[in-house]
């Protein structure tokens, strides 16, 4: 069994969550998938936006995609496929979109509600879980878990970058 590595951080504002996401983006290698889970309103889209902006897509970022399964961004440091599977009705809907190719080469895949697209083959993704902190409406506990070599290296870099700013 592969051993996992994980790291947690608590943020106290939307902006602070975006900072964590931007730092992660700064060390993100090509071919990586990020799976974002957590309840409605936990901050998955905020985190995704931070990663997308951190990869250099500052201007054209679209607000939380309401009825779009996948938004593609080609103008950043790496090509990005941002998927929101909340409204996915059948796993086959994803087949035609080519999302897996992004996680298998030069791109990055970011998935909100990954549990709804259980068939997606995304290598050894990084799992990011956002949870509300009881008693603090703007508190979020973010836990990032990696099992693959590239993901673990990314976690180490993120940890170091965060320590540097503390």
Asked if 51 and 81 count as a contact pair (C-beta separation under 8 A), the reply is no
* Whole-angstrom distance, CA of residue 18 vs CA of residue 96: 31
- Min dist CB 112 to ligand ATP, Å, is 6
Nearest 5°: phi and psi at 97? -90, -15
Q: Does 82 bind Mg ion (CB under 5 A)?
A: no
Interface with Mg ion: number of residues (CB under 5 A): 3
Nearer to ligand ATP, 1 or 118 (CB): 118
Using CB atoms within 10 A of its CB, is residue 149 exposed (0-12), middle (13-18) or buried (19+)? exposed
Q: Does 49 bind Mg ion (CB under 5 A)?
A: no
DSSP assignment of 26-80: HTPPTTEEEEEE-STTSSHHHHHHHHHHHTT--SSPPSS-SS-SEEEE-SSSS-E
Asked if 45 and 112 count as a contact pair (C-beta separation under 8 A), the reply is yes
Selected binder of ligand ATP within 104, 124, 131, 138 (CB under 6 A): 138
Angle between helices 14-26 and 44-54 in degrees, nearest 10: 40
| Site track 95-114 with Mg ion (rule: CB under 5 A), x = hit | -----------------x--
Nearer to ligand ATP, 31 or 130 (CB): 130
Q: Does 44 bind Mg ion (CB under 5 A)?
A: yes
Selected binder of ligand ATP within 6, 27, 45, 157 (CB under 6 A): 45
Selected binder of ligand ATP within 1, 40, 90, 164 (CB under 6 A): 40
Q: Does 17 bind ligand ATP (CB under 6 A)?
A: yes
Site residues (vs Mg ion, CB under 5 A):
44-45, 112
Site residues (vs ligand ATP, CB under 6 A):
11, 13-14, 16-17, 38, 40-46, 64, 86, 112, 138, 140
């Amino acid at each position: 069994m592969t051993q996992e590595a994980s790291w947690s951080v608590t943020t106290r504002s939307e902006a602070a969550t975006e900072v964590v996401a931007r730092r992660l983006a700064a060390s993100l290698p090509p071919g990586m998938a990020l799976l974002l889970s957590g309840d409605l309103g936990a901050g998955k889209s905020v985190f995704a936006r931070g990663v997308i902006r951190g990869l250099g897509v500052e201007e054209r970022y679209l607000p939380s995609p309401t009825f779009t399964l996948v938004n593609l961004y080609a103008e950043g440091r790496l090509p990005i496929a941002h998927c929101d599977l909340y409204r996915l009705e059948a796993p086959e809907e994803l087949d035609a979109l080519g999302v897996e190719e992004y996680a298998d080469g030069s791109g990055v895949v970011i998935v909100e509600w990954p549990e709804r697209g259980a068939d997606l083959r995304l290598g050894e993704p990084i799992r990011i879980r956002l949870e509300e902190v009881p008693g603090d409406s703007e508190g979020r506990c973010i836990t990032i878990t990696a099992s693959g070599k590239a993901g673990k290296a990314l976690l180490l870099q993120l940890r170091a970058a965060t320590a540097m700013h503390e």
